[in-house]
Structure 1
Amino acid sequence: MIKYVSRIFINNLLDQVDIVKLIINKIKLKKKGKNFFGICPFHIEKNPSFVVNAEKKLYHCFGCGVHGNIIDFIMNYENLSFLKSVKLLSDIFNIPIHNDKELCFSEKKNKNDIYYQLMFNLSFFYRNYLFRSLGKKALKYLLNRGFNLYIINYFSIGFSPLYWANKIFRNKKNIEILHKKLKVLKLNKNNHNYYDIFYDRIIFPIRNIHGFVVGFGGRTLNNKEPKYLNSSENNIFYKSNELYGLFEIKKENNIIKKIVVVEGYIDVISLFQFNIKYAVAILGTAITNSHIQKLFNLTNKIIYCFDGDKAGIQAQWNSLKKSLPFLIKGKQVCFMILPKGEDPDSLIRKEGRNLFEKRINNTLSFSKFFFKILLLKNLFSSCEEKTNFVYKALSFIKLIPDNFFR
């Protein structure tokens, strides 16, 4: 990745790029006079207030106020750094960054590049193995669960056979990285062979918001525990930061009005197959501040939809408490209570998309869910118990930053 570029190159880049050509591939634009108008991708609106001027090579939104040049757009739309945005534009428009004194730049290999490359190669290997003889059982399982080949390929689902490491990765350095840095491989002390921690499992690649594979989830095909296994945290993967399906949501939607948060990979994939392409899953952990901030950077509405059991309700209550400090003007969280014993995957297959979306559109608001749970947890037979309820409610309410809502 480039370390720095000169102002001369930046000016040259801005002169040569076609801002309309790039943005029109991201959002729909309609020409009116000298300008192009469209729905702003940075806030929710019904009427187009986002304008692009080809002559000035600038964009501006009269609704939320965002404005800038093509580099600013790429930084905000793709969530990239300045230098990565410059590199992306230079690649798209085939404007090479010359290695000379005039343009003054240097190149330094990003230390994570090798990690991303190895994880991509491994994901590609898993994906291919699903369609080989050893992956026949795994593929049959997925098809029997109702997944079609398109959705299997879309999410790059794969399969891990046993003891592949020494055969596939002959480079000892790469094996060491997969073992010590990425923690995908373990060493069998008896025969000194490396083995995959996900062996004999269906593999779900986990991508970060930029589309890089940073980890994996694996589901067992037999009664082996745990049923689901996630990558250990490593140099590029932190569970508290990543959400399964977030990259796919950004890829599928210019404007994200709402995001449904579910518990598992299967739930996300099933919802996508039924054309509900705004679901993400937490990765075997509780929702975190980082998760909520990432979601609210993309949408104004989060819907928590966990399994229809006691654990699911408790997870939703915990999510409510985590969300309190983020409830500023325009941001809202809602709660979708599923029937007992159901999860999003099972329910949408029983009801279909239309009925499931009716549930999404009739979720419990924050306030209704908040008091519903608190009223279940407290008694009101005496003044003391009522007072205790008030103090408990206020201890949560005071964490809400929005003055009017609080």
Structure 2
Amino acid sequence: MAGRIPDHFIDELLSRIDIAEVVGERVQLRRSGSNHSGLCPFHGEKTPSFTVSTEKQFYHCFGCGAHGTAIRFLMEYDRLDFREAVAQLAAIAGMEIPESARDSAPPPEQESLYSTLQRAADAYRQWLRDHPQAERAVKYLQQRGLSGEIAKQYGIGFAPPGWRNLLDKLTDRTALNRAGLIVEKEADRVYDRFRDRIIFPIRDRRGRTIAFGGRVLDQSEPKYLNSPESPVFQKGQELYGLYEVLQADRRPPDILVVEGYMDVVALAQHGVPRAVATLGTATSTRQVERLFQITGDVIFCFDGDKAGRRAAARAMENALPAMRQGRQIRFLFLPEGEDPDSLIRQEGQASFTARLQKATPLSDFLIASVSDEVDLQTMDGRARLIEKATPLLRRLPPDVYRHMLFDRLAGLARIERDYLEQVVDQQQRIKSPPDGQLDTAGTTADQPVRRTPVRLAIALLLQSPSLATQVEDLGPLHDTQSIPGLALLKQLLELSRTDPHITTSALLERFRDSEHETALWKLATWDHLVPEAGRTEEFADIMRRIANQTAQQRLTQLNERLQSGELTPEEWSEWMALKK
């Protein structure tokens, strides 16, 4: 397994890369002053709102809110993962990823696990071909319309009846137990986990077998049985069939999320080789994010009954944090009694594809869900609508998509959008951020940033990291809990002072996927109205004001302790210094 790519390597890489060249190879850009502009590649537009800053080395779209460094651009545009994007940029810059961070063989214990799982997959496939009792499994697959070719493509196998087939064949009880392939009840009671089932190997993006799913051949329960989690398998992160989707098309126009392994394979058999299945749980936000690395359109297929709509509601709730402009989620509800497997066999590819084109957008499904059994003709009903919608709206990230959904719901409730945002934001702030954390709850792409000393200091520092060298002593900022955002400002100062040559893009990259990422990008693209010639003086003045503010708040705290007679000798000296 590859080690973590060091921060200093990412910093150096971003300092060598010209983001305008990286983006310009994929998007037509025109020079506009010191920046470049063009049509945003992440949402449809006719008037350019997409800007690439050569000074700050990042891109930002004022229309949909898309933003990032050269690394994020390759991840979003070329649909690469983080390491793939870094490797591609490193090749352009003539840099080599440090040996400790390169892809290498997994640790011995994981290598052994992969080996055991692959040997088991080979055994199951062999048994499907030649085991005396495999005829029932072969007949079942043929009845479902599967060819030998598609069975081979998905590595389908067969676990024969009996308690020790796999255990006797592979013999290594310890390895089989670690892989979740046997069950140990007692020292003398050990048996195969999968028995008399059709076996579907679950593979990671590299094609390595990491787990199995088994389907019964009769009416016994459970209908599907999955491997337990292991060091190489976490069911909330993986998706059955994703490897096969990528083998068919590295950039599929859409991906279908279905409920069963047979649905995935049957769709591929009938000309729709871009379906995946969750692994016995509701689709997680992590899984949705993984899908959006590959495609911009995700379609959930569910039964049209109450159970299917409940499952769709859970999928919608978990998908909301991943929604932003340029991404689309839709829901296809199937006729009662049908699943994707039976429907595509009955209707054929053309009719099934026509259904997909009519799938319900997430926004329509969300509004239908919160409007269910609500009388929008009454004030009480409209209040109930907002009550039901608020928990879902809170899950949306700041973006144009959120803004537009607020508009639509506010119209239904007959209230102003700004007031609806206040209601949602107020409920978010009930769970206030940790002391000292910069509060950006509910901010959207078009909302102005409220001007505070800390926010302005961070914005100026992001534009010109070298300003940090002006701050010789971070001591006055020691009480970082007293002012929201002060801890983050201090962290940025420390990073910039440690590396005087760090760039804006490298600073922002340090906070990828952190709790501060959204706030920092908001401030990095904020027009704070401080001219470039006045940044140094303004930053020095702001830092003096922040230091005075923290000193005053600290003095107030010490005065309270003084009145209660609790000052320590060290605090007494601090109080005397602050009183001067």
What's the TM-score bracket when you normalise by the shorter of the two chains?
Answer: 0.7 to 0.9
Q: Cα 1:265–1:119, aligned 2, differ >3 Å: closer, same or farther?
A: same
2:383 corresponds to which of 375, 378, 387 = 387
Instruction: Name the residue aligned to 1:167.
Output: 168
Instruction: Name the residue aligned to 2:62.
Output: none
* Deviation (angstroms), 1:313: 1.1
Instruction: Name the residue aligned to 2:252.
Output: 256
Identity of aligned residues (%): 34
* Deviation (angstroms), 1:187: 3.3
2:338 corresponds to which of 316, 324, 342 = 342
Q: Counterparts of 1:155 and 1:177 in 2: how far apart (Å)? A: 24
Q: Counterparts of 1:257 and 1:108 in 2: how far apart (Å)? A: 33
* Deviation (angstroms), 1:182: 1.5
Q: Is the partner of 1:337 in helix, strand or coil?
A: strand
Instruction: Name the residue aligned to 1:111.
Output: 109
1:212 corresponds to which of 198, 208, 213 = 208
After TM superposition, list the pairs within 5 Å mapping 1:1-400 onto structure 2: 79=81, 81=83, 109-132=107-130, 133-161=132-160, 162=162, 163-170=164-171, 174-179=172-177, 181-187=178-184, 189=186, 192=188, 194-380=190-376, 382-400=378-396
* Deviation (angstroms), 1:246: 0.6
Q: Cα 1:235–1:399, aligned 2, differ >3 Å: closer, same or farther?
A: closer
Instruction: Name the residue aligned to 2:511.
Output: none
**Paired residues of 1:201 and 1:218 also in contact (CA < 8 A):** yes
Q: Is the partner of 2:271 in helix, strand or coil?
A: coil
Structure 1 unaligned residues grouped into runs of 5+? 5-41, 46-63, 90-98, 100-105
**Paired residues of 2:245 and 2:275 also in contact (CA < 8 A):** yes
Q: Counterparts of 1:301 and 1:119 in 2: how far apart (Å)? A: 32
Q: Cα 1:263–1:232, aligned 2, differ >3 Å: closer, same or farther?
A: same
* Deviation (angstroms), 1:262: 0.5
**Paired residues of 2:79 and 2:295 also in contact (CA < 8 A):** no
Q: Counterparts of 1:261 and 1:247 in 2: how far apart (Å)? A: 14
Q: Is the partner of 2:137 in helix, strand or coil?
A: helix
Q: Counterparts of 1:229 and 1:119 in 2: how far apart (Å)? A: 16
* Deviation (angstroms), 1:115: 0.6
Q: Cα 1:108–1:300, aligned 2, differ >3 Å: closer, same or farther?
A: closer
Moved more, 141-150 or 380-389: 380-389
**Paired residues of 2:200 and 2:214 also in contact (CA < 8 A):** yes
Q: Counterparts of 1:372 and 1:120 in 2: how far apart (Å)? A: 46
* Deviation (angstroms), 1:146: 1.2
Q: Cα 1:275–1:107, aligned 2, differ >3 Å: closer, same or farther?
A: closer
* Deviation (angstroms), 1:349: 0.8
Could you list the per-position Cα deviations for residues 298-332 of structure 1 after superposition, in whole angstroms to 9, with x for gaps in the alignment?
11111111123211111111111111121112112
Q: Cα 1:138–1:329, aligned 2, differ >3 Å: closer, same or farther?
A: same
Could you list the per-position Cα deviations for residues 115-163 of structure 1 after superposition, in whole angstroms to 9, with x for gaps in the alignment?
1111011001000101122211111111112111111111111111221
* Deviation (angstroms), 1:395: 3.5
* Deviation (angstroms), 1:189: 4.2
Q: Counterparts of 1:369 and 1:79 in 2: how far apart (Å)? A: 30
Q: Is the partner of 2:293 in helix, strand or coil?
A: helix
**Paired residues of 1:78 and 1:210 also in contact (CA < 8 A):** no
Q: Counterparts of 1:222 and 1:137 in 2: how far apart (Å)? A: 10
Q: Counterparts of 1:310 and 1:2 in 2: how far apart (Å)? A: 45
**Paired residues of 2:105 and 2:111 also in contact (CA < 8 A):** no
Q: Is the partner of 2:309 in helix, strand or coil?
A: helix
Q: Counterparts of 2:108 and 2:83 in 1: how far apart (Å)? A: 14
Q: Counterparts of 1:134 and 1:395 in 2: how far apart (Å)? A: 52
Q: Which residue identity lines up with residue 167 of structure 1 in the other structure?
A: D
TM-score by length of structure 1 reads: 0.72
* Deviation (angstroms), 1:209: 1.6
Q: Is the partner of 2:205 in helix, strand or coil?
A: coil
Q: Counterparts of 1:176 and 1:135 in 2: how far apart (Å)? A: 28
Instruction: Name the residue aligned to 1:32.
Output: none
* Deviation (angstroms), 1:342: 1.0
Q: Counterparts of 1:344 and 1:107 in 2: how far apart (Å)? A: 38
Q: Counterparts of 2:270 and 2:309 in 1: how far apart (Å)? A: 25
* Deviation (angstroms), 1:394: 3.6
Instruction: Name the residue aligned to 1:405.
Output: 404
* Deviation (angstroms), 1:224: 2.0
**Paired residues of 2:42 and 2:325 also in contact (CA < 8 A):** no
Q: Which residue identity lines up with residue 147 of structure 1 in the other structure?
A: L
Q: Counterparts of 1:384 and 1:109 in 2: how far apart (Å)? A: 60
**Paired residues of 2:167 and 2:182 also in contact (CA < 8 A):** no
Q: Is the partner of 1:130 in helix, strand or coil?
A: helix
Q: Counterparts of 2:81 and 2:386 in 1: how far apart (Å)? A: 42
Q: Is the partner of 1:306 in helix, strand or coil?
A: strand
Could you list the per-position Cα deviations for residues 7-62 of structure 1 after superposition, in whole angstroms to 9, with x for gaps in the alignment?
xxxxxxxxxxxxxxxxxxxxxxxxxxxxxxxxxxx9899xxxxxxxxxxxxxxxxx
Q: What RMSD over aligned residues (CA atoms) do the two structures have, in Å? A: 3.2
Q: Cα 1:237–1:356, aligned 2, differ >3 Å: closer, same or farther?
A: same
* Higher fraction of strand: 1
Q: Counterparts of 1:333 and 1:274 in 2: how far apart (Å)? A: 23
**Paired residues of 1:165 and 1:175 also in contact (CA < 8 A):** no
